[in-house]
Amino acid sequence: MHSLQDCTASPESKEAMPQLSRYELLEQERITQQIAEEQQTFRNELASLNVDGTRKWIYPQETQGRYTAARNIVAYILLGFLCAAPFIRVYDNPLIMLNILERKFIVFGVVFWPQDFYLVVLGLLTFILGIAVFTSILGRIWCGWTCPQTIFLEFVFRRIERWIEGNARQRIAFDKAPMNLRKLARKALKHSVFFVLSWILCNVFLAYIIGVEELFRIITEPPSQHIGGLTAMVVCSGLFYGVFARFREQACFIACPYGRFMSALVYPETLAVTYDFKRGEPRRRPSRADKQETITEPRGDCIDCGQCVSVCPTGIDIRNGIQLECVNCTACIDACDSVMRKIRKPIGLIRYASLQAIQQGRSSYLTPRVKGYVAILLVMITVFTALFLRRPQTEAVVLRQPGTLFQRVADDKIANFYTVQVINKTFQPKTLEVRIVEPQQATLIALTDNRTVPAQHVWHGRFLIVLPATVLYNPSTTITLAVLTDATLVKEVKTTFVAPVQ
């Protein structure tokens, strides 16, 4: 990480841009001040905090350019997917459901039952390691391009804010203006829209956790039947509203554990949004002297216009080097590229590059550490795939009916009730059969007519086992049952049969 604290801004700014409007000059002044503050404090303080610890509200300008266009496409595809996934059905199951409460997870239509929890844990660990590997090679690509927090904040909530309150400059003026009826109405409109959106988001979020059917029941049935569900809905909507209306970028620095791991995961070889200080420094604003060609000192390509700072959603100056707050959103790349085009210099003064590539002109992304990570990741993926492919496709549990003992039936016979639970993880329905292996004298009477276990479902049935009292010498006798689906043995089960003491 390089430090450019000694690269101060030129004092000739106003002279340099005589054609700017009054508003643009004010904005330029604001950015200049922001940059000066940031250069003084970027190592010690967050850019979004004042010296006294109070919040400095960030008003990022909108960007245009190739990365913005690409991020728009990615964001809207992901938004569509995130909102639709719990509602899309595959074999009568949601495409994705993460029911933590019941430990039932559905990923792309494949159901992981509580019995498969070891696979969920292993899959989660593999996913986390995968992110670590991607981070060491591609930096915070997750944060800037795919994190739901970034996508909802930048592509939904901030856009609505812009429609209602205007661009960055207008929003600053609007917030500074005294409260009046017009301002109150606009603020009320914005926050009402934010809350409705948060409520919708909360519903989608709950659909991932409890499933669409349960969510629909909470919404449509009398509130008295779903006090817990409705409380969760209100709390969750309030949380989303708080995060997107107020907490915003602070979530990335303070709440997100991933951001905290950054310093441990990135290296000089990691690809990141980086300022090419070799090309950009010494920075200097254009002035009238430029036209008269009286400048002799060396100068870099950075004209210290501050555009990269004004578009940054976390308020930092990327020219100070890689920082904790940078979410690699690429807004500063597009902003700087447009400045470079205007001043007829090559684009890419800020670009995706590693620090090593900037310093040495070349970089090797496959370092020994990355190779080690990749090797471990491959092992974990292999183990996960093997365990996933070998997991039993049908599982059965047979239990004596809880709370029952025995029943005396005709001809001096004793009966016990049993329940059978069959999990069919396949995509085809299965026909269930339970047979008695021993003792031979036992008879099985099925109490559930329909013995078809639907695909990807859990089936519950009940049956009765009857034994002549004459063969029961003990209060508890072990019996063996065979559970079959489609005439294939799933499991042999040993259970107990209770009888009165003779």
The secondary structure of 94-135 as a DSSP string is: ESEEEETTTTEEEETTEEE-GGGHHHHHHHHHHHHHHHHHHH
Cβ–Cβ < 8 Å for 171, 187: no
CA distances from 336 to 150, 162, 299, 324, 460 (A): 21, 22, 17, 21, 64
* 432 belongs to the binding site for ligand SF4 (CB under 6 A): no
By C-beta, is 14 or 183 nearer to ligand SF4? 14
**Nearest distance from C-beta of residue 81 to ligand SF4, angstroms:** 23
Which are the contacts of 237, defined by CB distance < 8 A and separation ≥ 6? 195, 198, 199, 201, 202
**Nearest distance from C-beta of residue 330 to ligand SF4, angstroms:** 5
**Nearest distance from C-beta of residue 167 to ligand SF4, angstroms:** 17
| Separation of alpha carbons 463 and 181, rounded Å | 72
Q: What angle do CA 161, 163, 169 make, to 5 degrees?
A: 70
* 331 belongs to the binding site for ligand SF4 (CB under 6 A): yes
**Nearest distance from C-beta of residue 250 to ligand SF4, angstroms:** 14
By C-beta, is 243 or 331 nearer to ligand SF4? 331
By C-beta, is 236 or 333 nearer to ligand SF4? 333
Only one of the segments 233-241, 316-324, 459-467, 469-477 lies at the binding site for ligand SF4 (rule: CB under 6 A); that segment is 316-324
Of 262, 308, 423, 479, the one binding ligand SF4 (CB under 6 A) is: 308
By C-beta, is 177 or 343 nearer to ligand SF4? 343
By C-beta, is 233 or 326 nearer to ligand SF4? 326
Which are the contacts of 381, defined by CB distance < 8 A and separation ≥ 6? 126
- E strands, 442-475, where? 443-446, 452-453, 457-468
| Separation of alpha carbons 47 and 42, rounded Å | 7
By C-beta, is 207 or 316 nearer to ligand SF4? 316
Question: Crossing angle, helix 158-165 and helix 181-210, to 10 degrees?
Answer: 160
Q: Decide: helix, strand or coil at residue 481.
A: strand
Of 150, 330, 354, 456, the one binding ligand SF4 (CB under 6 A) is: 330
Of 202, 233, 266, 339, the one binding ligand SF4 (CB under 6 A) is: 339
Of 336, 380, 420, 479, the one binding ligand SF4 (CB under 6 A) is: 336
* 266 belongs to the binding site for ligand SF4 (CB under 6 A): no
Helix (H) or strand (E) holding 313: none
By C-beta, is 275 or 418 nearer to ligand SF4? 275
Phi and psi at residue 72, in whole multiples of 5°?
-60, -45
**Nearest distance from C-beta of residue 276 to ligand SF4, angstroms:** 9
| Separation of alpha carbons 430 and 424, rounded Å | 7
By C-beta, is 315 or 461 nearer to ligand SF4? 315
Of 16, 153, 202, 327, the one binding ligand SF4 (CB under 6 A) is: 327
Only one of the segments 12-20, 155-163, 300-308, 387-395 lies at the binding site for ligand SF4 (rule: CB under 6 A); that segment is 300-308
* 304 belongs to the binding site for ligand SF4 (CB under 6 A): yes
| Separation of alpha carbons 172 and 170, rounded Å | 5
Of 314, 354, 424, 485, the one binding ligand SF4 (CB under 6 A) is: 314
* 349 belongs to the binding site for ligand SF4 (CB under 6 A): yes
* 329 belongs to the binding site for ligand SF4 (CB under 6 A): yes
Q: Which amino acid is at 33?
A: Q
Residues that bind ligand SF4 (rule: CB under 6 A) add up to a total of 30
Which residue blocks in 17-99 are alpha helix, DSSP H?
22-41, 66-84
By C-beta, is 154 or 165 nearer to ligand SF4? 154
Which are the contacts of 69, defined by CB distance < 8 A and separation ≥ 6? none
* 306 belongs to the binding site for ligand SF4 (CB under 6 A): yes
| Separation of alpha carbons 321 and 262, rounded Å | 14
* 153 belongs to the binding site for ligand SF4 (CB under 6 A): no
Of 207, 218, 303, 420, the one binding ligand SF4 (CB under 6 A) is: 303
The region, left, alpha or beta by phi > 0 then psi within -120 to 50, assigned to residue 293 is left
Q: What residues make contact with ligand SF4 under the rule CB under 6 A?
A: 273, 275, 280, 283, 302-308, 311-314, 316, 318-319, 326-332, 335-336, 339, 349-350
